[in-house]
A and B are shown apart, each in its own frame.
Chain A
Amino acid sequence: MIPTPDLSHLTRRDYESVYEPAEDTFILLDALEQDADELRNMQPSISLEIGSGSGCVSSFIGTILGPSNTLYLATDINERAASCTARTGRQNNIPIEPIIANLVAPLRSRLRHAVDILVFNPPYVPTFESEAEDAQTTRNIQGAWAGGANGMQVTDLLLEQVDDLLSSQGRFYLVAVKQNDVPAIQERMRQRFNLRSDVVLQRRAGREHLLILRFQR
Protein backbone atom coordinates (compact mmCIF):
# COMPACT_ATOMS: atom_id res chain seq x y z
CA MET A 1 0.00 0.00 0.00
CA ILE A 2 1.53 3.29 -1.12
CA PRO A 3 0.58 6.17 1.16
CA THR A 4 -1.45 9.05 -0.26
CA PRO A 5 0.80 12.13 -0.37
CA ASP A 6 0.76 14.45 2.61
CA LEU A 7 -1.24 17.56 1.64
CA SER A 8 -1.57 19.01 5.13
CA HIS A 9 0.43 22.12 4.13
CA LEU A 10 -2.22 23.21 1.60
CA THR A 11 -4.78 25.67 2.89
CA ARG A 12 -8.37 26.69 2.17
CA ARG A 13 -6.92 29.67 0.31
CA ASP A 14 -4.94 27.36 -1.97
CA TYR A 15 -8.09 25.41 -2.70
CA GLU A 16 -9.90 28.60 -3.70
CA SER A 17 -7.81 28.67 -6.87
CA VAL A 18 -6.43 25.12 -7.12
CA TYR A 19 -8.41 21.92 -7.47
CA GLU A 20 -8.57 19.93 -4.25
CA PRO A 21 -7.91 16.21 -4.77
CA ALA A 22 -11.19 14.32 -5.03
CA GLU A 23 -12.52 11.01 -6.34
CA ASP A 24 -11.07 11.57 -9.83
CA THR A 25 -7.63 12.11 -8.28
CA PHE A 26 -7.93 9.02 -6.12
CA ILE A 27 -8.97 6.70 -8.93
CA LEU A 28 -5.89 7.88 -10.84
CA LEU A 29 -3.69 7.13 -7.83
CA ASP A 30 -5.28 3.69 -7.58
CA ALA A 31 -4.58 2.98 -11.26
CA LEU A 32 -0.95 4.03 -10.84
CA GLU A 33 -0.59 1.92 -7.71
CA GLN A 34 -2.03 -1.06 -9.56
CA ASP A 35 0.80 -0.67 -12.11
CA ALA A 36 3.49 0.19 -9.55
CA ASP A 37 5.73 -2.83 -10.20
CA GLU A 38 5.58 -2.44 -13.97
CA LEU A 39 6.30 1.28 -13.69
CA ARG A 40 9.36 0.59 -11.52
CA ASN A 41 10.59 -2.08 -13.93
CA MET A 42 10.44 0.41 -16.81
CA GLN A 43 13.14 2.50 -15.07
CA PRO A 44 11.52 5.64 -16.41
CA SER A 45 13.78 8.66 -16.90
CA ILE A 46 11.05 11.23 -17.39
CA SER A 47 7.61 11.54 -15.85
CA LEU A 48 5.42 14.42 -17.01
CA GLU A 49 2.13 15.41 -15.46
CA ILE A 50 -0.02 17.98 -17.21
CA GLY A 51 -2.28 20.13 -15.06
CA SER A 52 -0.63 19.02 -11.85
CA GLY A 53 -2.81 21.20 -9.59
CA SER A 54 -2.12 20.36 -5.94
CA GLY A 55 0.85 18.16 -6.94
CA CYS A 56 -0.76 15.11 -5.33
CA VAL A 57 -0.40 12.82 -8.34
CA SER A 58 3.21 13.68 -9.21
CA SER A 59 4.19 13.23 -5.57
CA PHE A 60 2.50 9.84 -5.60
CA ILE A 61 4.38 8.79 -8.74
CA GLY A 62 7.56 9.98 -7.05
CA THR A 63 6.77 7.84 -4.04
CA ILE A 64 6.27 4.80 -6.28
CA LEU A 65 9.49 5.31 -8.24
CA GLY A 66 11.75 6.96 -5.68
CA PRO A 67 12.91 10.57 -5.52
CA SER A 68 16.19 10.20 -7.42
CA ASN A 69 15.29 7.65 -10.09
CA THR A 70 13.21 9.82 -12.41
CA LEU A 71 12.85 13.46 -13.45
CA TYR A 72 9.41 14.66 -12.36
CA LEU A 73 8.16 17.44 -14.61
CA ALA A 74 4.77 19.02 -13.94
CA THR A 75 3.03 21.74 -15.89
CA ASP A 76 0.03 23.82 -14.96
CA ILE A 77 -1.43 26.91 -16.56
CA ASN A 78 -2.37 28.23 -13.12
CA GLU A 79 0.47 29.92 -11.22
CA ARG A 80 -0.90 29.07 -7.83
CA ALA A 81 -1.18 25.41 -8.86
CA ALA A 82 2.47 25.36 -9.88
CA SER A 83 3.37 26.74 -6.48
CA CYS A 84 1.18 24.13 -4.71
CA THR A 85 2.85 21.41 -6.79
CA ALA A 86 6.29 22.61 -5.69
CA ARG A 87 5.25 22.74 -2.04
CA THR A 88 3.64 19.31 -2.16
CA GLY A 89 6.80 17.91 -3.71
CA ARG A 90 8.89 19.38 -0.87
CA GLN A 91 6.45 18.17 1.77
CA ASN A 92 6.76 14.63 0.43
CA ASN A 93 10.49 14.77 -0.38
CA ILE A 94 9.97 14.40 -4.12
CA PRO A 95 11.88 16.92 -6.26
CA ILE A 96 9.13 17.93 -8.67
CA GLU A 97 9.91 20.58 -11.30
CA PRO A 98 6.78 22.68 -11.77
CA ILE A 99 6.53 24.74 -14.94
CA ILE A 100 3.82 27.31 -15.61
CA ALA A 101 2.77 26.40 -19.12
CA ASN A 102 -0.13 25.70 -21.41
CA LEU A 103 -0.13 21.87 -21.68
CA VAL A 104 3.35 20.99 -23.01
CA ALA A 105 4.10 24.00 -25.21
CA PRO A 106 7.68 24.79 -24.07
CA LEU A 107 8.64 21.10 -23.73
CA ARG A 108 7.42 19.74 -27.02
CA SER A 109 10.49 20.12 -29.15
CA ARG A 110 12.90 18.63 -26.60
CA LEU A 111 10.66 15.85 -25.31
CA ARG A 112 10.03 14.20 -28.64
CA HIS A 113 9.56 10.49 -27.91
CA ALA A 114 11.17 11.00 -24.52
CA VAL A 115 8.36 10.82 -21.96
CA ASP A 116 8.09 7.48 -20.18
CA ILE A 117 5.13 8.32 -17.96
CA LEU A 118 2.62 10.92 -19.11
CA VAL A 119 -0.34 11.72 -16.87
CA PHE A 120 -3.30 14.01 -17.42
CA ASN A 121 -6.35 14.54 -15.25
CA PRO A 122 -7.98 17.06 -17.59
CA PRO A 123 -10.93 19.37 -17.19
CA TYR A 124 -13.39 16.69 -18.32
CA VAL A 125 -16.79 18.07 -17.29
CA PRO A 126 -19.02 18.92 -20.29
CA THR A 127 -19.77 22.66 -20.28
CA PHE A 128 -20.48 25.39 -22.80
CA GLU A 129 -17.43 25.89 -25.00
CA SER A 130 -17.08 29.54 -24.00
CA GLU A 131 -16.97 28.49 -20.36
CA ALA A 132 -13.99 26.22 -20.98
CA GLU A 133 -12.22 28.86 -23.05
CA ASP A 134 -12.73 31.60 -20.47
CA ALA A 135 -11.49 29.33 -17.72
CA GLN A 136 -8.26 28.52 -19.58
CA THR A 137 -7.70 32.16 -20.47
CA THR A 138 -8.23 33.51 -16.97
CA ARG A 139 -6.43 30.43 -15.56
CA ASN A 140 -8.78 30.07 -12.60
CA ILE A 141 -10.05 27.06 -10.70
CA GLN A 142 -12.84 26.54 -13.20
CA GLY A 143 -10.09 25.60 -15.65
CA ALA A 144 -9.55 22.47 -13.58
CA TRP A 145 -12.93 21.05 -14.56
CA ALA A 146 -14.69 23.01 -17.35
CA GLY A 147 -14.16 20.84 -20.42
CA GLY A 148 -16.40 22.41 -23.07
CA ALA A 149 -18.18 20.25 -25.64
CA ASN A 150 -18.32 16.63 -24.44
CA GLY A 151 -15.80 17.68 -21.82
CA MET A 152 -13.13 17.11 -24.47
CA GLN A 153 -12.04 20.62 -25.45
CA VAL A 154 -8.72 20.60 -23.59
CA THR A 155 -8.15 16.83 -23.75
CA ASP A 156 -8.46 16.93 -27.55
CA LEU A 157 -5.55 19.36 -27.76
CA LEU A 158 -3.30 17.04 -25.79
CA LEU A 159 -4.40 13.85 -27.56
CA GLU A 160 -2.92 15.26 -30.78
CA GLN A 161 0.50 15.47 -29.10
CA VAL A 162 0.67 12.24 -27.11
CA ASP A 163 2.24 10.19 -29.89
CA ASP A 164 4.96 12.80 -30.28
CA LEU A 165 5.78 12.76 -26.58
CA LEU A 166 5.73 9.10 -25.61
CA SER A 167 8.98 7.13 -25.58
CA SER A 168 9.01 3.64 -27.08
CA GLN A 169 8.07 2.16 -23.71
CA GLY A 170 6.01 5.21 -22.69
CA ARG A 171 2.60 5.09 -21.08
CA PHE A 172 -0.07 7.72 -20.94
CA TYR A 173 -2.66 7.72 -18.17
CA LEU A 174 -5.78 9.78 -18.79
CA VAL A 175 -8.75 10.42 -16.50
CA ALA A 176 -12.10 10.48 -18.30
CA VAL A 177 -15.82 10.30 -17.62
CA LYS A 178 -18.39 8.37 -19.56
CA GLN A 179 -19.73 11.51 -21.32
CA ASN A 180 -16.31 11.98 -22.96
CA ASP A 181 -17.16 8.96 -25.17
CA VAL A 182 -14.25 6.76 -24.18
CA PRO A 183 -14.64 4.17 -26.99
CA ALA A 184 -14.40 7.00 -29.53
CA ILE A 185 -11.21 8.30 -27.90
CA GLN A 186 -9.68 4.83 -27.98
CA GLU A 187 -10.62 4.20 -31.58
CA ARG A 188 -9.29 7.55 -32.70
CA MET A 189 -5.95 7.08 -30.95
CA ARG A 190 -5.59 3.63 -32.49
CA GLN A 191 -6.45 4.75 -36.00
CA ARG A 192 -4.52 7.99 -36.05
CA PHE A 193 -1.46 7.10 -34.02
CA ASN A 194 -1.53 3.33 -33.66
CA LEU A 195 -1.63 3.72 -29.88
CA ARG A 196 -3.41 0.92 -28.09
CA SER A 197 -5.32 1.56 -24.92
CA ASP A 198 -7.17 -0.10 -22.07
CA VAL A 199 -9.64 1.04 -19.50
CA VAL A 200 -7.61 -0.01 -16.47
CA LEU A 201 -10.02 1.13 -13.79
CA GLN A 202 -13.52 2.52 -13.57
CA ARG A 203 -15.89 3.44 -10.80
CA ARG A 204 -18.93 5.49 -10.00
CA ALA A 205 -18.48 8.47 -7.70
CA GLY A 206 -21.75 10.28 -7.06
CA ARG A 207 -23.00 11.43 -10.46
CA GLU A 208 -19.72 10.76 -12.22
CA HIS A 209 -18.75 7.54 -13.96
CA LEU A 210 -14.96 7.82 -13.84
CA LEU A 211 -12.52 5.84 -16.00
CA ILE A 212 -8.76 5.61 -16.25
CA LEU A 213 -7.40 5.02 -19.73
CA ARG A 214 -3.87 3.79 -20.30
CA PHE A 215 -2.30 4.26 -23.74
CA GLN A 216 0.89 2.67 -25.01
CA ARG A 217 2.59 1.71 -28.25
Chain B
Amino acid sequence: MVRLITHNILACHAKGCTQNNFPLQFKDASIELKEQEFNPDFLRNFLSRLEWKALVDTARELGDTSLPLEMPEMIDDEFLKNLHHVLLEIHVEEGAMICPNCGHSYPISNGIPNMLLAEHEIG
Protein backbone atom coordinates (compact mmCIF):
# COMPACT_ATOMS: atom_id res chain seq x y z
CA MET B 1 0.00 0.00 0.00
CA VAL B 2 1.68 3.12 -1.24
CA ARG B 3 -0.23 5.76 0.66
CA LEU B 4 0.40 9.43 0.01
CA ILE B 5 2.10 9.74 3.41
CA THR B 6 4.75 7.34 2.12
CA HIS B 7 4.85 8.83 -1.35
CA ASN B 8 5.64 12.16 0.35
CA ILE B 9 8.86 10.58 1.66
CA LEU B 10 10.15 8.75 -1.42
CA ALA B 11 12.63 10.43 -3.75
CA CYS B 12 14.51 9.26 -6.83
CA HIS B 13 18.02 8.15 -5.90
CA ALA B 14 19.44 7.20 -9.29
CA LYS B 15 23.03 8.09 -10.02
CA GLY B 16 23.45 11.84 -10.50
CA CYS B 17 19.78 12.54 -9.92
CA THR B 18 19.91 14.98 -7.03
CA GLN B 19 17.70 17.86 -8.11
CA ASN B 20 14.02 18.02 -8.97
CA ASN B 21 13.90 14.31 -8.04
CA PHE B 22 10.84 14.72 -5.81
CA PRO B 23 7.90 14.20 -5.77
CA LEU B 24 7.70 11.15 -7.98
CA GLN B 25 4.76 11.21 -10.37
CA PHE B 26 2.23 8.42 -10.34
CA LYS B 27 1.58 6.71 -13.64
CA ASP B 28 -1.29 4.30 -14.39
CA ALA B 29 -2.17 4.34 -10.72
CA SER B 30 -4.87 1.96 -9.63
CA ILE B 31 -6.32 3.14 -6.37
CA GLU B 32 -8.17 1.53 -3.49
CA LEU B 33 -9.76 3.48 -0.67
CA LYS B 34 -9.43 1.86 2.74
CA GLU B 35 -10.79 3.29 5.93
CA GLN B 36 -8.28 4.00 8.70
CA GLU B 37 -8.72 5.05 12.29
CA PHE B 38 -8.78 8.87 12.55
CA ASN B 39 -6.02 10.12 14.85
CA PRO B 40 -5.85 13.94 14.98
CA ASP B 41 -2.80 13.99 17.29
CA PHE B 42 -0.79 11.92 14.86
CA LEU B 43 -1.77 14.24 11.99
CA ARG B 44 -0.89 17.39 13.92
CA ASN B 45 2.51 15.94 14.81
CA PHE B 46 3.13 14.87 11.25
CA LEU B 47 2.31 18.22 9.61
CA SER B 48 5.82 19.59 10.04
CA ARG B 49 7.29 16.59 8.23
CA LEU B 50 5.21 17.00 5.09
CA GLU B 51 6.22 18.63 1.85
CA TRP B 52 2.89 20.37 1.48
CA LYS B 53 2.98 21.33 -2.18
CA ALA B 54 4.05 17.85 -3.21
CA LEU B 55 1.18 16.37 -1.23
CA VAL B 56 -1.48 18.70 -2.61
CA ASP B 57 -0.28 18.38 -6.20
CA THR B 58 -0.19 14.61 -5.99
CA ALA B 59 -3.62 14.39 -4.37
CA ARG B 60 -5.03 16.57 -7.16
CA GLU B 61 -3.43 14.40 -9.81
CA LEU B 62 -5.22 11.46 -8.24
CA GLY B 63 -8.49 13.38 -8.28
CA ASP B 64 -8.74 14.58 -4.67
CA THR B 65 -9.08 18.36 -4.38
CA SER B 66 -10.00 18.58 -0.69
CA LEU B 67 -6.70 20.10 0.47
CA PRO B 68 -5.91 23.84 0.17
CA LEU B 69 -2.87 24.93 -1.82
CA GLU B 70 -1.37 26.58 1.23
CA MET B 71 -1.24 24.82 4.58
CA PRO B 72 -3.86 26.66 6.67
CA GLU B 73 -2.84 28.50 9.81
CA MET B 74 -5.94 27.36 11.64
CA ILE B 75 -5.93 23.59 11.91
CA ASP B 76 -9.56 22.56 12.39
CA ASP B 77 -11.26 19.20 12.42
CA GLU B 78 -12.57 19.41 8.90
CA PHE B 79 -9.08 20.08 7.56
CA LEU B 80 -7.66 17.20 9.60
CA LYS B 81 -10.33 14.83 8.31
CA ASN B 82 -9.50 15.74 4.72
CA LEU B 83 -5.80 15.38 5.46
CA HIS B 84 -6.43 12.01 7.11
CA HIS B 85 -8.21 10.77 4.01
CA VAL B 86 -5.54 12.01 1.60
CA LEU B 87 -2.55 10.80 3.60
CA LEU B 88 -3.79 7.48 4.91
CA GLU B 89 -6.83 6.20 3.07
CA ILE B 90 -5.82 6.49 -0.59
CA HIS B 91 -3.80 3.41 -1.45
CA VAL B 92 -2.04 3.07 -4.77
CA GLU B 93 -1.99 -0.66 -5.40
CA GLU B 94 -0.60 -0.89 -8.93
CA GLY B 95 1.20 1.43 -11.34
CA ALA B 96 4.51 3.20 -11.23
CA MET B 97 6.21 6.29 -9.88
CA ILE B 98 8.24 8.33 -12.35
CA CYS B 99 11.08 10.68 -11.47
CA PRO B 100 10.29 14.18 -12.79
CA ASN B 101 14.00 14.76 -13.41
CA CYS B 102 15.54 11.62 -14.91
CA GLY B 103 12.39 9.73 -15.86
CA HIS B 104 13.31 6.62 -13.92
CA SER B 105 10.25 4.45 -13.33
CA TYR B 106 9.72 2.71 -9.99
CA PRO B 107 7.03 0.05 -10.30
CA ILE B 108 4.31 -0.59 -7.72
CA SER B 109 2.95 -4.11 -7.53
CA ASN B 110 0.46 -5.43 -4.96
CA GLY B 111 0.77 -2.13 -3.16
CA ILE B 112 4.54 -2.43 -2.71
CA PRO B 113 6.90 0.03 -4.41
CA ASN B 114 10.10 -1.36 -5.84
CA MET B 115 12.74 1.34 -5.34
CA LEU B 116 15.75 -0.78 -6.31
CA LEU B 117 18.11 0.41 -9.02
CA ALA B 118 20.24 -1.63 -11.38
CA GLU B 119 23.94 -1.77 -10.57
CA HIS B 120 24.87 0.91 -13.15
CA GLU B 121 22.19 3.31 -11.91
CA ILE B 122 23.39 3.43 -8.31
CA GLY B 123 25.04 6.71 -7.35
Q: Which positions in A face B, CB cutoff 8 Å?
A: 43, 45-46, 67-71, 73, 77, 79, 82-83, 86, 95, 97-102, 105-111, 114, 137
Contact = CB atoms under 8 A, between A and B. Distances in A.
29 contacts: A43-B41, A45-B42, A45-B45, A68-B42, A69-B41, A70-B42, A71-B46, A77-B116, A86-B1, A86-B112, A95-B88, A97-B1, A97-B3, A97-B5, A99-B6, A99-B112, A99-B115, A100-B114, A100-B115, A100-B116, A102-B117, A106-B11, A108-B11, A109-B11, A110-B8, A110-B11, A110-B51, A111-B9, A114-B49
A82 B9 contact: no
Interface string B1-34: 1110110111111000000011000000000000
Report whether over half of chain B's contact residues are helix, strand or loop; otherwise say mixed: loop
B77 interface: no
A43 B49 contact: no
Interface size class of B (residues with CB under 8 A): 35 or more
Contacts, number: 83
B5 A71 contact: yes
A68 B37 contact: yes
B100 interface: no
B36 A45 contact: no
Nearest to A87: B110
